[in-house]
Structure 1
Amino acid sequence: MPLPRFTRLPGDRRAEILRTAREMFAEHGPDTASYNKIIAAAGISKTAAYHYFDGREDLLSAVLDDLLARLHGSLGPWREAASPAEFWRGLRDGFARLHGHLAERPDDLALVDVALARVPDHRFDAYLGALIDNGRALGVIRADVDRELLLAATAAVFRVLDNWMLARPDAPADALRQAWGLLAGLWSATDAD
């Protein structure tokens, strides 16, 4: 978590520091990007940097928190659907917003898996939980699997789908249909016996 002095900087300066750090972490990797090179690129002296962050890991956490907040902002809350058709339309719209955000911001795409793995973000849990509860109420999502297991599996499939779709800018026209088919298969009740 950034130190109080960082939060007192003007918003545009905070955003610029986080943008520069995000670019460097995305380019060089979250585990190998140089803290000294990041702060130099951001135009911060080493002394000032330690007034803003407790070190490299603290800066990385701030970058990942910011990334998750922006992703959540582009997704918005799950809006409860009244019918299966409305449910699938809402899901497609949310996927399109996230896909658009990540397609336009390759630095975010490079770090999103790290952010989701290292920084628990309950906003996405709340979104997926509301989506699953709504889908179950509509009969779109199976009720024979533990909710938490289904939530974790759905989150994993969404991450894979995001990366798969974005790695194929010239994906076949039926790529989205394949993605929805995969989700429908995950969510459909089947007899495993």
Structure 2
Amino acid sequence: MPLPRFDRLAADRQAAILAVARVQFAEHGPEAASYNKIIELAGISKTAAYHYFDGKDDLLGAVLDDVGARVLGALGDWEPAGDAAGFWGQLRAGSGRLVAHLAEHPDDQALAPLALERPVAHAGTQWISGVVANGQELGIIRSDLDQALLVAVTTAVLQTLDGWALAGNAVGEEAWSLLAGLWGEPR
């Protein structure tokens, strides 16, 4: 969590510092990225940096929270659908927006797995919980299993499909069929 002085910086200055750090963490990895290099590239003194962050781990946390917010912003809100066609259309559209965002922002793509483990990413779990609950209401998703299990499995499948798409593979009907089969009523 950044120190209070960072929050008092102008929003564009905060964004600029986080952007520099995001690039460095994405290119070099959180362990190998140099705090001193980030400070230098951001155009701030070491003294100022320690007024904004407790150190590299604190800065990394701020970057990951920002990446999580950016990724979830690209995903958009889940609005309960009224029918199966609306449900599948909204799910495909959300996935498409997310894949497009990650393709356009490779730094977010590189850091997203770490970012989605952080508390700020709880909204992502809420999104998928909304998908599952809406799907259950519509009879698309089975209701005989614990909802937390369905959310966890759905999260894993959607992350795999996003990775599949980012690797240049088409996410066609077979991918959605896989998800539908996973969600289907037991035999």
Name the TM tier (shorter chain). Answer: over 0.9
- How far residue 93 of structure 1 moved from its aligned partner, in angstroms, is 0.9
| Deviation for aligned residue 1:100 | 1.0
Which stretch of the first structure deviates more once superposed, 91-100 or 112-121?
A: 112-121
- TM-superposed CA distance for 1:120, in Å, is 5.2
Check conservation: 2:142, 2:183, Cα contact below 8 A: yes
For 1:160 and 1:31, the matched residues in 2 are separated by 25
Distance 1:76 1:29, change over 3 A: same
Structure-2 separation of matches of 1:108 and 1:144: 36
Counting only pairs closer than 5 Å after superposition, residues 1-193 of structure 1 correspond to structure 2 as 1-119=1-119, 121-168=121-168, 171-172=169-170, 175-191=171-187
Other structure's SS at 1:141 match? coil
Q: Is the 8 A contact 2:2 2:54 kept in 1?
A: yes
Secondary structure of the residue aligned to 1:121 is: helix
- TM-score under structure 1 length normalisation: 0.92
Give the superposed CA RMSD: 1.3
Residue 99 of structure 1, CA deviation: 1.0
- Given residue 14 of structure 1, which amino acid in structure 2 is its aligned partner? Q
% identity of equivalent residues: 56
Can you give the 5+ residue segments of structure 2 that lack an aligned partner in the other structure?
Answer: none
Number of aligned residue pairs: give it. 187
Structure 1 stretches (4+) deviating beyond 6 angstroms?
none
Do the aligned residues in 1 keep the contact of 2:75 with 2:97 (CA within 8 Å)?
yes
2: CA distance between counterparts of 1:184 and 1:22? 36
Distance between the aligned counterparts of 1:182 and 1:117, measured in 2?
25
Q: How far apart, in 1, do the equivalents of 2:32 and 2:177 lie?
A: 38
Structure 2 counterpart of 1:59, which letter? L
* Equivalent-residue separation in structure 1 for 2:120 and 2:12 (angstroms): 26
SS of alignment partner, residue 78 of structure 1: coil
TM-score, normalised relative to structure 2: 0.95
Deviation at 1:190, TM superposition (A): 2.8
Distance 1:79 1:98 in 2: 16
Q: CA deviation at 1:118?
A: 4.0
Residue 119 (structure 1) shift: 4.2
Amino acid at match of 1:182: L
